[in-house]
Chain A
Amino acid sequence: MTELSERPDPTDTAARAALTTKPADTRRAAPARTPAQHVRSAWRRLTSMRTALQLLFLLALGAVPGSLLPQHGQQDGLVTSFMTHHTVLGPLFQRLSLFDVFAAPWFAAIYLLLFVSLIGCLMPRIRLHVKALRTPPPAPPRHFARLPRSTSWESVEAPDAVLATVRKSLRSRGWRVVEHPDGVSAERGYLRETGNLVFHVALLLLLVGVALGGLFGFKGEIIRTQDAPGWSNVPGQYDESSTGRAFRLSTMTPFTVTFQSFKAVYLPDGEPQSYDALVTYTSKPGGPVKTYDIRENHPLVIGGSILTGGTKVYLGGHGFAPHLVVKDPQGRVVKDVDQVFLPQETTNYLSEGYLKVTDGDDKKSWFALHGIFAPSIKTTKAGPTSTFPAARNPELLLNALSGDPSAASVYDVPSGMKQLLAADGSPSMGLKPGQSWKLKNGYTVTFVGVTEFANFQITDDPGKNLALVAAILIVLGLILSLRVRRRRFWVRARADTTGRTVVEAGGLARTDPEQFAEEFAALTERLQVATGRPHPNSEE
């Protein structure tokens, strides 16, 4: 955080202190130190530039395993397979939180230390900058020739008139000008340090925004089909949900959403062009029903304020839900459902699913149907595949299992179930829409048709807008601190023995001296013209 001081300035140590905040030297050890001195020394060490840089590198280095190893929450399956394949490294990595780097205590320790170091560095700098803003630029130095840039010229006007013109000209160009008995001092470019401080404070603000999201945020996921299209925004309704540590139920927006229809458009080669999920929703119970088209990059936003942002509903994915009707041996309908089949791949949507029939008290008659669904079927030697992601030629391949299927999730059955044959003795059957399959136990399955389900993702991140504001400030602060140059400019005018006025000008810039040289030349040129007959007598 030390200001760039490209040109050491021997003439102006006070101003230099205002422009730079060199971290105090931590290596000068006193012979016997009190605990307080130890604390102070440790604090100084933590807030030194060297430590900050070391922490920055540690942070970068610490992020590397998080990008190379599979991470919990992103690729849980890969983590499990890594653990089974690497019996030595796996548990070691697990213990080091290398599968959960970005939530690991050691990773948090690095960035928290970095931010503490940043705060320790920022506080004195803010104080100094406020002081610098209130301190007028210092009086003109005695010898202008010692400044990085200097020049002089003669004017026919009186010294006071020259200086008045100079002041006016500088002020109109945005310089901060101070009058002195025989000269003028001017300074500008305070925005450099302002931008620098804004940038660093905004980094802290970003951390706060991220933390708010982590503490109070909510994430949910829900699959909706044509026959079960609606849901309300309560955690229990979601198939999966996770909440921040300080999350409170009362902050959830009480909206309800109803899934109306899904439409996918594909190019002839199956490349997707657009996905649309049409929904109706109410923002609060009893509120007006509105319609919205949720698309990629176009989520539904409900409720919230400018500060917290609303809850967003995204279209996370889609798939096929074959409409299945199961009748018992007496012809009574025991199941009539759009059953979700999860896509096994998302190119042509070959999907797999189960339907559990637990009809009546007698568990002996319970069974499950297992199916492979292809929206555009093609049967090969290796088995059924799909050749297109839309339902052009749908087919459902079913087999049946007898036993109690209730122990596993809806997308799976417990092991140990026995194969259940069809009435004609075949083990499986391919059904087109409208076709039925009769099982040996007397039940009949009908594949009525197929619709598409939609997978909705819900996020409520109350720190999001703060993070956005912080991000904007970070970019703005950065641009200011890298583009603006802090520079000083002095002019002195006095009458010489012959009665003419000698005008001297000098200047210095902390950064980019080449560009300042150009600015200095242009500025003095303009002042020469403004203060009377130009008579350049450069000392550069």
Chain B
Amino acid sequence: MSHPHPALAALSDVLFRVTLGVYAAAMLAFIADLAFARRGLVRSHEQAVAVPEKRALVGAGAPVADAPSYPSVPVDVPPPSRRLSFGTAALALTAVGWLVHLVEVVSRGIGVMRMPWGNMYEFSSAICLVAVGAFLVLTAQKKVAHLGVFVMVPVVLYLGLAGTVLYAKAEPLQPVLNSYWLIIHVAAAITATGVLMVSGVVSSVHLARRRFERLVSAGLAPGFSAVTRSLPDARTLDRVEYRIIAFGFPIWTFAVMAGAIWAEAAWGHYWQWDPKETWALITWIVYAAYLHARSTPGLRKWAAHISTLAFATMIVNYYVINIFIVGKHSYAGIPH
């Protein structure tokens, strides 16, 4: 297939591999940071969470939420040693990888002279770009750098799958996909998926951490606590999770709506219960359930479970429905 700028498209392919390599290195560095938790990001955080943990112990009878003041927000304590820690290296690698990734996506776009989200390979790449970007922004704001490993593992998996199973050569689009609503709809869907991917990570980590805190406050010794001990406290995770979903959910809503508008222009019906549409709605409903559960005192304890489930429906939509179920979205470019 010829395309306007074959050199750029080829460059994009090379940069994709570079990105994957740098991200994999970042992932390993995050894992090392976790494994050698005595220095680096995790340790600095452990000191910070020591106070809330004690509170949980003391307040076993009375819920922490009823305490008159806020639980102290974890403060990042600088690592005791000035040596380059694994955590710092991991963050630096992630940031460098993200920049390479950005160039990869842009050069792919110029290489094919269209928005670089026309097939699943390109979606995966763009989603990960958003997810890693969201993680970096979040790290700058909220000191959640030690969640890096939980973001980078799925990102590397996603990109690995994209580069092998889902890889598609740079090609122009079918006529039906040639619409500016495609740009809007898919851009919104990618952004929302990338953002909510981070929330899915936070939700599952939140569940693990909450279990850990419950066991500790009950005076039990939790097993496999090397990781959960070093996580941010459950309240922080809950806030981070809510904040991400409150940001991602309207974008997801908009993505579904923009898709309906595009469908109306392309096929004459704004909603046809195509499997992909149906699952987008299922994801939407479960995230809506999360927001309702979280804002209802009696049901709040289920919120993290629900958001984990919501993220699972998103993954089902992305992999199972795209690949195995035939529908109107089947031209997502999977090599059969």
Contact = CB atoms under 8 A, between A and B. Distances in A.
Interface string B317-336: 00001000110000000000
Interface in A351-377: none
Nearest to B1: A269
A131 interface: no
Range of interface residues on chain B? Answer: 35 or more
Contacts of A67: 273, 275, 278-279, 282, 321, 325
A430 interface: no
Given A4-B295, A267-B172, A297-B178, A475 B253 contact: yes
Given A52-B292, A53-B299, A297-B178, A74 B272 contact: yes
B267 A314 contact: yes
Interface in A120-160: 146, 148
Contacts of B278: 63-64, 66-67
Which residue among A53, A314, A467, A479 has the maximum number of chain B CB atoms within 10 Å of its CB? Answer: A53
B179 interface: yes
A298 B264 CA distance: 10
A522 interface: no
Given A59-B285, A67-B279, A273-B175, A2 B70 contact: no
A297 B273 contact: no
B288 interface: yes
A68 B70 CA distance: 47
B285 A56 contact: yes
Contact of B273 (A66, A269, A474): A66
A148 B65 CA distance: 13
B22 to A, nearest CB: 33
Given A67-B325, A297-B179, A273 B286 contact: no
B7 interface: no
Given A56-B288, A474-B253, A63 B282 contact: yes
A1 B292 contact: yes
A60 interface: yes
Interface in B25-79: 65-66, 68-70, 73
Contacts of A189: none
A522 B94 CA distance: 34
Given A56-B288, A272-B174, A471-B257, A3 B295 contact: yes
B289 interface: yes
B175 A478 contact: no
Interface in A75-107: 75, 101-102
B268 A312 contact: yes
| Secondary structure class of chain B's binding surface, majority of residues | helix
Nearest to A57: B289
B299 A478 contact: no
A211 to B, nearest CB: 13
A474 B325 CA distance: 29
A403 to B, nearest CB: 38
A459 B268 contact: yes
Nearest to A314: B268
Contact of A297 (B176, B279, B289): B176
B219 to A, nearest CB: 27
B273 A102 contact: yes
B254 A475 contact: yes
Interface in A447-473: 457-459, 461, 464, 467-468, 471-472
A478 B69 CA distance: 30
Contacts of B260: 471
A160 B70 CA distance: 33
Contacts of A271: 1, 171-172, 174
A482 interface: yes
Contacts of B158: none
Contacts of A295: 175
A483 to B, nearest CB: 8
A18 to B, nearest CB: 16
A377 B246 CA distance: 57
Contacts of B296: 2, 49
B264 A8 contact: no
A483 B1 CA distance: 46
A8 B176 contact: no
B14 to A, nearest CB: 24
B269 interface: yes
A53 B261 CA distance: 28
B333 to A, nearest CB: 12
B1 A8 contact: no
B66 A8 contact: yes
B301 interface: no
A63 B250 contact: no
Contacts of B292: 1-2, 49, 52-53, 56
A393 interface: no
Interface in A28-65: 49-50, 52-53, 56-57, 59-60, 63-64
B270 interface: yes
Contacts of A314: 267-268
B289 A4 contact: no
A461 B292 CA distance: 33
A12 to B, nearest CB: 14
Contacts of B239: 514
B76 to A, nearest CB: 15
Contacts of A2: 292, 295-297
Contacts of B179: 296-297
Contact of A474 (B247, B257, B279): B257
B284 to A, nearest CB: 9
Contacts of A244: none
Query: Which A-B residue pairs are the 5 nearest by beta carbons?
Result: A4-B295, A67-B275, A67-B278, A297-B179, A459-B268
Interface of A: 1-5, 8, 22, 49-50, 52-53, 56-57, 59-60, 63-64, 66-68, 71, 74-75, 101-102, 146, 148, 210, 219, 267-269, 271-275, 295-299, 312, 314, 316, 457-459, 461, 464, 467-468, 471-472, 474-475, 478-479, 482-483, 512-514, 517
21 contacts: A8-B66, A49-B292, A53-B289, A56-B289, A56-B292, A60-B285, A67-B321, A74-B273, A74-B274, A271-B1, A271-B171, A275-B175, A296-B178, A298-B265, A299-B268, A461-B269, A471-B257, A475-B257, A478-B253, A479-B250, A482-B250
Interface of B: 1-2, 65-66, 68-70, 73, 171-172, 174-176, 178-179, 181, 239, 243, 246-247, 249-250, 253-254, 257, 260-262, 264-275, 278-279, 281-282, 285-286, 288-289, 291-299, 313, 321, 325-326
Given A49-B292, A52-B292, A474-B257, 15 more contacts: A2-B297, A3-B295, A57-B286, A68-B275, A267-B172, A272-B174, A296-B176, A297-B181, A314-B267, A471-B257, A471-B260, A471-B261, A475-B253, A482-B291, A483-B246
